[in-house]
Amino acid sequence: MQKIISTERIPIKMWLDEAEEGSMRQAKNLANLPFAFKQVCLMPDTHEGYGMPIGGVLATKGVIVPNAVGIDIG
């Protein structure tokens, strides 16, 4: 892990030096969701997606977010 951002409700752990602006904005939005659990993680290949960064990991508590799986699967 290269960086931890702790300005949001839960931390964002990054496995890259810098994330592009769009994916960082999305990660911060995710980190402030009431059902986001423990941390949001950004992998080295992260880039902006549709509501959630591609290459991002979101653990949730009590909910399932289908869009977090990816809209290009299947």
Four-point Cα dihedral 31, 35, 38, 39, nearest 10: -30
User: Is residue 13 a contact partner of residue 19, using CB atoms and an 8 Å limit?
Assistant: no
Helix (H, G, I), strand (E, B) or coil at 24: helix
- Best CA proximity match to 55, nearest among 22, 33, 32: 22
Q: What is the DSSP secondary structure assignment for residue 40, as one 8-state letter?
A: E
pLDDT at position 58 over 80: yes
Mean pLDDT over residues 52-72, rounded? 85
Q: Give tens-digit pLDDT for 33-56.
A: 999 999 999 999 999 998 899 999
pTM score, two decimals? 0.89
User: Is residue 48 a contact partner of residue 22, using CB atoms and an 8 Å limit?
Assistant: yes
